[in-house]
Amino acid sequence: MRHWRVAALSVVLALGGCDRRSSPVAPPAPAPVVPVVVEVKPEPPPPPPAPPQILDIKVARVAKNKTLAVTLNDMGVGVDELKSVTAALEGVFNFKKVRAGDQVRLSRQDGRIETIEIRRSELDEWTVRREGERLVGAKRAVEVETRRATVDLAVRSSLWEAMSEAGENPNLAGEIADVLAWDIDFYRDVRKGDKIRVIVDKDFVHGRLLRYGQIYGVRYEGGSVGSKKLMRYTALSGETTFFDEKGTSAKKPFLKTPLKFVHITSHFGGRTNPLSGYHQEHLGLDLQAEPGTPVWAVGDGVVTHVVYNDPGGGNYLFLRHANGYETGYLHLSRFADGIHPGVRVAQKQVIAFTGSTGMSTGPHLHYAVKKGGYFMNPLAVKLPRAEPLSAKELPRFQEKTAELSSLINAELVATLVPREE
């Protein structure tokens, strides 16, 4: 029995025992902490800022009858420098086509030319830049963004004014008048409250409107002329013109007038001559126009007469058209280049410019129409339109213009805004 107790006690002692009063085994001593010394070096001071570039900048415009070289010389560019500038722009810029008003910007640094910029328009800019010891010329690339837009207008007094009130460039008025030239006289036919829609491309540079591009469709709702809806379409024949929704061409053998915007100051028929005071027949229409206004050929034809300094008609010309018609254009300031007897002209081609030559009280165009040797009232000429599209081509036309037709026919939103008195 004694031996059993001794054995049991040995096991307990071997397992660590269970006496709560016994001391735990001491943990090993921690390793000594060795301090780490980090040497912090101060940041080096930033380099001094580069001295600002001091540029000497001059800006000028090419004056009338002056060349680019003369303009640069006036700005302080010497003879040797001009040679370098000319060499840099060789093949890039046409010195012979410098225009009065072209802007020139010259910058120098430390007396040396750094840049020369020549600006004619938003699209036409040229630069000369220093690269090392030489000057290099280039035409500046300008990115043009084209957006197709719908413009709605309400007419108060004129198409021109309607453009301004809508925040559009009035130049668009001339393009609209061009499309509707066969149907609408924009002096006689316009009424207050008429509405217009035009689908047109707008070209932007740096977010600013540069110009109007192609017109695709025009709608005119007028108190005098009714509803006109025209869409641009290229027919199978290859001709591109405007057609209504039924495929009938807007084109007629004659335009309504030979000017885009017309104000009639004297009608066809009997009147008192403002110079002689005698009653006589007035064998045409007097159309008021500023001197130098372009004159259109109202239809395809051949030039038959070109007369200078006639005591009555001044400078004038006559055209012969199909079906026995002739048209005359009197009191001109000058003729367009290439106009002489025997020359064929196309409808809407500029053939001359308005003036006040001959027996005239002021700048205007006398427009006359003859048939069979007799003068007739131009406003009474009724000519058919060009041939409509064939039944075979009509489905193609409708398919090509479906989207455009939808835009043209959408509700017009332009309204007249009351003016503050």
pTM of the model: 0.61
Token duo for residue 211? 């110009």
Mean pLDDT (10-residue bins), the chain, 421 residues: 48 46 61 68 77 82 92 92 92 89 93 92 89 91 90 88 87 87 81 93 89 94 92 92 92 84 62 47 80 92 94 92 90 95 93 91 89 85 81 95 94 70 49
What pLDDT is stored for residue 24 in this prediction? 57
**What's the CATH number for 55-139?**
3.10.450.350
What pLDDT is stored for residue 418 in this prediction? 61
What pLDDT is stored for residue 297 in this prediction? 94
Q: Distance between CA 364 and CA 284 in Å, rounded? A: 12
Q: CB–CB of 370/325 below 8 Å? A: yes
Q: Distance between CA 399 and CA 334 in Å, rounded? A: 46
Token duo for residue 368? 């006359």
Task: Return the DSSP state at 112.
Answer: E
DSSP H helices, 94-230, are 159-165, 171-179
**What's the CATH number for 144-252+386-421?**
3.10.450.350
Angle, CA of 45, 49 and 51, to the nearest 5°: 150
Token duo for residue 88? 């840099």
Q: What is the C-alpha radius of gyration for the chain, rounded to an integer number of angstroms?
A: 42
What pLDDT is stored for residue 140 in this prediction? 86
Residue by residue, DSSP assigns 140-154 as PP---EEEEEEEEEE
Q: Distance between CA 293 and CA 351 in Å, rounded? A: 11
- Beta strands at 125-131 and 112-119: parallel, antiparallel or unpaired: antiparallel
What pLDDT is stored for residue 420 in this prediction? 57
Please report, for the chain, the start and end positions of each structural domain, with discontinuous segments joined by +.
55-139, 144-252+386-421, 263-380
What pLDDT is stored for residue 384 in this prediction? 73
| Nearest residue to 250 (alpha-carbon basis) of 347, 136, 326 | 347
Domains 55-139 and 144-252+386-421 share a fold: yes
Angle, CA of 148, 150 and 154, to the nearest 5°: 150
Say which residue the tokens 């009653």 belong to. Answer: 279
Q: CB–CB of 75/31 below 8 Å? A: no
Question: 147 CB contacts (<8 Å, ≥6 apart)?
Answer: 201, 202, 204
Q: Distances from the Cα of 244 to the Cαs of 219, 233, 269, 327, 401, in angstroms?
A: 10, 10, 35, 28, 10
| Nearest residue to 303 (alpha-carbon basis) of 334, 333, 329 | 329
Instruction: Report the run of H or E that residue 69 belongs to, with start and end.
Output: helix 68-74
- How many residues comprise the chain? 421
Q: CB–CB of 61/101 below 8 Å? A: yes
What pLDDT is stored for residue 13 in this prediction? 43
Q: Which amino acid type is present at position 104?
A: V
The domain defined by 263-380 folds into Glucose Permease (Domain IIA) (2.70.70)
